[in-house]
Amino acid sequence: MSVADHEKEEPQADLLLDVRRLLCPLPILRAEAAIAPLASGAILAVLATDPGLARDLPAWCSVHGHRFLGLKNQGRELIGWVAKG
């Protein structure tokens, strides 16, 4: 799994989706709805508490042709970035 390097600059998100407290698969379902109206190449950031996101976000990108840009742990939260395919 590709994880954003803390040294690297975080991607600049066009939209931040807050799915904290939601359990799998709701973070992905919400991400799917959130990314739909965005233009190709736009960046969606997903802020979650469900640790499953670390594996599901890259898998979802691979299945739907989006580009997984990375993921970072922020204490008990995770933030992941996706560029719309």
Query: Contact positions toward other proteins, by CB under 8 A?
Result: 21, 23-26, 28-29, 32, 49-52, 54-56, 59-60, 62-64, 76
Q: How far is the CB of 4 from other proteins (least distance, A)?
A: 18
Q: Which is nearer to other proteins, 43 or 50 (CB)?
A: 50
Q: Which is nearer to other proteins, 12 or 63 (CB)?
A: 63
| HEC string for the chain | CCCCCCCCCCCCCCEEEEECCCCCCHHHHHHHHHHCCCCCCCEEEEEECCCCHHHHHHHHHHHHCCEEEEEEEECCEEEEEEECC
Q: How far is the CB of 75 from other proteins (least distance, A)?
A: 11
Which residues form the catalytic set? 24
